Structure 1
Amino acid sequence: MFRPLQLLALAVALPLLLASCASHMSWPSEPRAIPRPARLASTEPAPTPAEASRFLQQATFGPSMGEIEALTRSNFSSWVDQQMATKQTLTAPLIEPYYKALKKGENLKQDQYFSAFWKTSATAPDQLRQRVAFALSEIFVISMDGMLDVKMRAIANYHDMLARNAFGDFRTLIEEVSRHPAMGVYLSHLRNLKEDPVKGRVPDENYAREVMQLFTIGLQELNPDGTLKLRNGEPIETYTNEDITGLAKVFTGFSYGSFERADQDFHNAGRNPDWEIRPMVGYNQFHSGSEKRFLGVTIPASQFPSADDDLKIAMDRLFNHPNVGPFFGRQLIQRLVTSNPSPAYVRRVTEAFNNNGAGVRGDMQAVIRAVLLDPEARSAASLKDAGFGKVREPILRLSQWMRAFNATSIAGNFDMYNTDNPGNALGQSPMRSPTVFNFYRPGYVPPGSMVAKRNMVAPEMQIVSESSVAGYANFIQSVIDGGVGRAANNKRDIQPDYSAQMALADSTDRLVAHIDLLLTASQLSPESRRRISEAVNEIRIPANNPTQAENARRNRVKLATLLTMVSPEYLVQK
């Protein structure tokens, strides 16, 4: 049995671990087509297995051995081309059967979205799109930890909206984010009424503030390389409170999707049963007609204001602000590749944002290519740079385990649950950020750390604690041993297939090298490989008892996997 090995495993692992840490009014089915330069056949050389694994760890929810081998027969650019041509996998249809089965007074459950998320992450062929969508969900944040706690149709539809726009254009993305009812509920601009001086009512400013601060331009003006612009040696604020006040008026008058846009439709969700999956529309009768000043733009006062026209002006202004390229580009680099990109790296991504090669601004495909194919992302020299890389966030650790070991669901639906608890789970669940600032801020600096001394950031370290370190080690040991998800008939729903690894288990060197390639892109240090190999060798394979030999091989695989997944080289993705 594997469990008696737990103390041995953790005795080896913890020092390593502690060293690091659908309706007719629903959204369109495809992103808007935008002009792009012709794609020429790639002449890149084929990557080595280690290079392929490293790339796939940045661009997917985790590689399988088959995907690593396939990529070594191609190249990175061709793989990106193929992924961008792959049809989108939708999560919303996985929620609909539960919705249709609801009885009066019942609500959808968060576990139903978790199952849809993990099934998509583990099995969807459009891995690049889904991985970018996950990154976008941590920039354009909504959360079911609040008013959306039972709105799983809205959550799944928002997920699919991000995935649809992942390969589209940023201008469309920010407007669809702004019009999405999930965002309208989360940041309170759904049913946002125009000002009323008699009643002392002013427009809700919540979304106006966050769409600037978090989604588009940030707090301070940036150079194209992401460094701060200075005036008299001081940073320059991108907006003032007056800009928030003026922009807040733009976001008045938006509410539930409706053809008629009658007063009762604005106020009553019950008249729009599919409101969770329809974009919000502008109700001009509730939209501010007063003058709107923000970011150097003035929308004149009007007796007949148009909410939709005013929103277009605001979105165009935000989209064309020079901060957007470096502000958004740097965050996408952080989510996919490294927490501390060089200014030159950020500048190259900004240049791709500003012009995709065909004169188009905001082409997400150009931005993604620039992020993943940049020399800094692909260079072997970056592996030796102590400042390169990022802490692998917990959700991505579990998704990588699922994909590396070809996990399947007994029930077929990846019957999953909340993994928020840092003491006995991941300390993180998809779409359950505690605030609009995500699980962690892009500029977080662990106090009193070497990171702080080197003037660097480590965003994911914001959710690392003594409790989460031990909790993850125990959780992932349990997952590796017995699978994950809800149990039925004494067996957890999501089960791995270790058969390929068990075929290598008689040779410790081959087994450890295989798991090293699969999980860390062959980045285990000689010391880590030695310690893992020594622990694995403690499990003897009997020569004359086939059943015991099979159990021993399985335990070798589980132990090697556990010790790798708690190693510094795994927890810090390079």
Structure 2
Amino acid sequence: MDQRLTALRAANATANVSSSQFYESFWMQAAKGDDQLRQRVKFALSEIFVTSFTGASQSPRGLASYYDMLGRDAFGNFRTLLQDVTYHPAMGLYLTYMGNQKEDAKTGRNPDENYAREVMQLMTIGLWELNTDGTRKTDMTGNPIPTYSTEDVKGLAKVFTGLSWYSPTPNNSTFWGGSKNVEAYTTPMIMYNSAHSTSAKAFLGSTIYATTVADGNGEVSKALDTLYNHPNVGPFLCRQLIQRLVTSNPTAPYIKRCAQTFNNNGSSVRGDMGAVIKAILIDSEARTVSTDASYGKLREPVVRLGNWMRSFDAASDSGNWLITSTSSQSQLNQSPLTSPSVFNFFRPGYVPANTIIGNKGKAAPELQITDEVSVAAYVNTMQTTIEKGIGSSSDVKAAYSKELALANDPVALVNRIDLLLGVRMSATLRARITDAVTGIAIPAAGAAQDTIDTAKLNRVRLAILLTMASPDYIAQR
């Protein structure tokens, strides 16, 4: 993104980047990055540790820095990830604890509780105490046990007081964003101990005693250690990562195996994200074709578009991947880092009402952003994309050279597309698409070459569109 800024300023010295350049960078990495698993996990983490362009006062470079941080930490240790998320200015702005001040009895001011609540509820331990397999623990009367109380939120909120803008020479003015350093949006927040609470703090069974000398960073470290070591973190995090990568309704044994890896990677290390991702992806439940009709997940719209780009070697005419937001309901109804709230585009426990899967009590998170309008818009968007390209002046497009070589053989063409897109088509779907492709006649030898080429291209485009519009593709199994 900074390279793009340099290029823009070469043409206009006062130019600046916007969300558009973030999206361009995202799609370039999604299509051409040589670290696709990291890219995929990074996107999954962005839907758990949510920040968004919809938040007030966000900086495009700041959010790009935040997204890069998620990628950098994707295979590291969860404790490092939790620390980096907590200190990043993009999160400080989004969950309003940037410039969070200690309590003041005279004015009645209390610390902002936003991050304290959401870091527990959405990012680490969830609402209910869990067994290692992700099932809820219950009390003697059979009721689920809450993980935290209002008092825990209040205690933790005091820990997160004093964090604000980075400055090499911090003072009261820089605490409020005055004389802001050029890298303040991309550099971790710093602790201003003068604004940090020195009163006693109790949360999740931990106590920090009152003191006369503030040690804000030390207290944040203790709080993050407490969250990191909570027994809920493994099953809570693993369930959501499995949902993002494999299936919406993982079994309890699947969650347990992955949570055990989080708790101990085999070398007595807790929180090894690389080991956790490996455990999720090579688990027998992830690698075995299931006969359960509710197994699998809907592919998110952003993932589908990225799948098309990589499968068919899409390229950018300009080299800048000029795709802006695709959040409109007339497009994909989703863009990276553009969630409407801290609760992501969809809730991990969303159960669609009045559906077969909903009547079984099964979750289908991605269906929360799926309706008649979004389904039609997706098909229309992909039809245009497959035929003409996507982005400004259809900047990103595919040539389909390898597919065109198979256009005379509809069976081979459909088999290749099935393989590239990871569909595992049913015999019925395969036959229908093959018949539809065969229905486009290729002129006999002697006809004008451009007519022959057009017919072949139409076969390829139709095969891809019908595949990507099919339930077999949209439901990853």
TM-score of the superposition, structure 2-length normalised? Answer: 0.97
Can you list the C-alpha shifts for 1:237-271, whole angstroms capped at 9, x where unaligned? 00000000000000100001123332222112433
Greater Cα shift, 91-100 or 363-372: 91-100
| Aligned residues of 1:330 and 1:346 also touching (Cα < 8 A) | yes
Pairing of 1:371-410 with structure 2 (within 5 A): 371-380=280-289, 382=290, 384-410=291-317
Question: Given the alignment, which residue of 64, 68, 72 partners 1:164?
Answer: 72
1:473 equivalenced with 2:379 (yes/no): yes
1:505 equivalenced with 2:407 (yes/no): yes
Quote the Cα distance in structure 2 between the aligned partners of 1:148 and 1:446: 34
Quote the Cα distance in structure 2 between the aligned partners of 1:237 and 1:497: 55
Task: Give the aligned partner of residue 464 of structure 2.
Answer: 561
User: Which one has more relative contact order, counting CA pairs under 8 Å at least 6 apart?
Assistant: 1
- In structure 2, the CA distance between the partners of 1:452 and 1:208, relative to structure 1 (3 Å rule), is same
Instruction: State the SS of the aligned residue for 2:391.
Output: strand
1:223 equivalenced with 2:126 (yes/no): no
Task: Give the aligned partner of residue 243 of structure 1.
Answer: 152
- In structure 2, the CA distance between the partners of 1:101 and 1:235, relative to structure 1 (3 Å rule), is farther
Between the aligned residues of both structures, percent identity stands at: 50
1:205 equivalenced with 2:113 (yes/no): yes
Task: Give the aligned partner of residue 240 of structure 2.
Answer: 331
Can you list the C-alpha shifts for 1:73-119, whole angstroms capped at 9, x where unaligned? xxxxxxxxxxxxxxxxxx55555655798766x65321111101000
- Look up the equivalent residue of 2:328 and give its one-letter code: N
| Aligned residues of 1:96 and 1:153 also touching (Cα < 8 A) | no
Pairing of 1:247-326 with structure 2 (within 5 A): 247-326=156-235
- Look up the equivalent residue of 1:393 and give its one-letter code: E
Task: Give the aligned partner of residue 346 of structure 1.
Answer: 255
Query: Which consecutive residues of structure 1, in runs of 5 or more, have no partner in the other structure?
Result: 1-90
Pairing of 1:66-145 with structure 2 (within 5 A): 93-94=3-4, 97-98=7-8, 108-145=17-54
Shift in Å, 1:418: 1.0
Question: Given the alignment, which residue of 172, 177, 188 partners 2:85?
Answer: 177
Can you list the C-alpha shifts for 1:544-566, whole angstroms capped at 9, x where unaligned? 22221111000000000000000
- In structure 2, the CA distance between the partners of 1:146 and 1:271, relative to structure 1 (3 Å rule), is closer
Q: Give the count of matched residue pairs.
A: 474
Shift in Å, 1:452: 1.6
- Look up the equivalent residue of 2:91 and give its one-letter code: M
Moved over 4 A (4+): 91-104
| Aligned residues of 2:8 and 2:16 also touching (Cα < 8 A) | no
1:515 equivalenced with 2:424 (yes/no): no
- In structure 2, the CA distance between the partners of 1:552 and 1:183, relative to structure 1 (3 Å rule), is same
Quote the Cα distance in structure 2 between the aligned partners of 1:155 and 1:99: 20
Task: Give the aligned partner of residue 71 of structure 1.
Answer: none
| Aligned residues of 2:389 and 2:396 also touching (Cα < 8 A) | yes
- Look up the equivalent residue of 1:392 and give its one-letter code: R
- In structure 2, the CA distance between the partners of 1:476 and 1:204, relative to structure 1 (3 Å rule), is same
| Aligned residues of 2:351 and 2:358 also touching (Cα < 8 A) | yes
- Look up the equivalent residue of 1:215 and give its one-letter code: M
| Aligned residues of 1:269 and 1:275 also touching (Cα < 8 A) | no
Instruction: State the SS of the aligned residue for 1:484.
Output: coil
| Aligned residues of 1:95 and 1:156 also touching (Cα < 8 A) | no
Quote the Cα distance in structure 1 between the aligned partners of 2:205 and 2:110: 21
Pairing of 1:5-20 with structure 2 (within 5 A): none
Can you list the C-alpha shifts for 1:221-252, whole angstroms capped at 9, x where unaligned? 00000001011211000000000000000010
- In structure 2, the CA distance between the partners of 1:412 and 1:249, relative to structure 1 (3 Å rule), is same
Quote the Cα distance in structure 1 between the aligned partners of 2:264 and 2:298: 31
Question: Given the alignment, which residue of 440, 444, 447 partners 1:539?
Answer: 440
| Aligned residues of 2:386 and 2:397 also touching (Cα < 8 A) | no
Quote the Cα distance in structure 2 between the aligned partners of 1:98 and 1:282: 35
Task: Give the aligned partner of residue 527 of structure 1.
Answer: 428
Task: Give the aligned partner of residue 482 of structure 1.
Answer: 388
- Look up the equivalent residue of 1:560 and give its one-letter code: A
Quote the Cα distance in structure 2 between the aligned partners of 1:294 and 1:214: 17
Shift in Å, 1:535: 1.3
Task: Give the aligned partner of residue 29 of structure 1.
Answer: none
Pairing of 1:16-95 with structure 2 (within 5 A): 93-94=3-4
Can you list the C-alpha shifts for 1:335-382, whole angstroms capped at 9, x where unaligned? 0000000100000000000001110100011101100010110113x2
Instruction: State the SS of the aligned residue for 1:276.
Output: coil
- Look up the equivalent residue of 1:341 and give its one-letter code: P
Query: Which consecutive residues of structure 2, in runs of 5 or more, have no partner in the other structure?
Result: none
| Aligned residues of 1:256 and 1:269 also touching (Cα < 8 A) | no
- CA-based RMSD of the aligned residues comes to 1.4
Quote the Cα distance in structure 2 between the aligned partners of 1:345 and 1:187: 32
